[in-house]
Structure 1
């Protein structure tokens, strides 16, 4: 029987910022992390990148919307392979704010489209102060 020490383990490597941005640009679902009155909350959202900013939509009636204007937040995207025990994770830290329609990307095809039904007219942008990533590689 193998012991924990006998198992071959993968190695964590930092992902350079340009590669983090590329991975973010390929993904469509991530987790927004913000604080409400009871503490931290992490929820999945559909998103798109707008340059180095994260852009997503929320309902004005949602609890999430109440807490996202001018708030310190984190945003995480990852892809994991349980079988091979490899994957990557990118973390964006920054400030979220509502976006006026005049400040949205001109090309509407680059706007995020929610997967779930519902009215989500409020666009939220995360302006990053830090973008970091780690990749778990089977060396």
Structure 2
């Protein structure tokens, strides 16, 4: 990072590494003019995102329109980061898909039954790291 660039663009490999170290993300769906956002716990599986859900609005919206955005972020004292996955989500239906998903380290966070696995297959992956620090002097002499 240079002194004038407080934001770094992350490469795909680093984005997947950061995603793999987290458990909670935000799923954004849209049906017509309705946009919804849902917190979901997830795992990364071979450069896809897998989560579990129950029957309900989230699953219904994915059935109507499978285009989604998935976002994960985190921060520390020195930097923060955000990774965005844009892609298509589909329910895992075959016995082989479900059996493979059952082997993933993915358990519901709350004591509810969630029988449905959903996989997000990315079309695009973007990530940024934000170097934290004090706000520059707004009114002082600016360096050239």
Q: TM-score, normalised by structure 1?
A: 0.82
What are the equivalent positions in structure 2 for 1:1-139 lying under 5 Å apart?
A: 11-36=6-31, 39-60=34-55, 62-69=56-63, 71-81=66-76, 84=77, 86-100=79-93, 101-104=95-98, 106=100, 108-138=102-132
Name the stretch that deviates more: 112-121 or 47-56.
Answer: 112-121
Tell me the alpha carbon deviations over residues 65-123 of structure 1, each in whole angstroms, 9 at most, x when there is no partner.
10113610000000024xx4730000000000000241146374424211012121010
- Coordinate RMSD, CA, aligned: 2.3
**Residue in 2 that maps onto 1:5:** none
Give structure 1 regions of 4+ aligned residues with deviation exceeding 4 angstroms: none
CA-CA distance at 1:37 after TM superposition: 5.3
Work out which of the two has the higher radius of gyration on C-alpha atoms and give 1 or 2: 2
Q: Kindly indicate whether the alpha-carbon contact (under 8 Å) linking 1:14 and 1:134 is maintained by their aligned counterparts in 2.
A: yes
Q: TM-score, normalised by structure 2?
A: 0.79
Q: Between Structure 1 and Structure 2, which shows a larger proportion of strand residues?
A: 1
Structure 1 unaligned regions, length at least 5: 1-7
For 1:137 and 1:38, locate their aligned partners in 2 and report how far apart those are by CA, in whole Å.
35
- 1:45 counterpart SS class: strand
For 1:72 and 1:107, locate their aligned partners in 2 and report how far apart those are by CA, in whole Å.
21
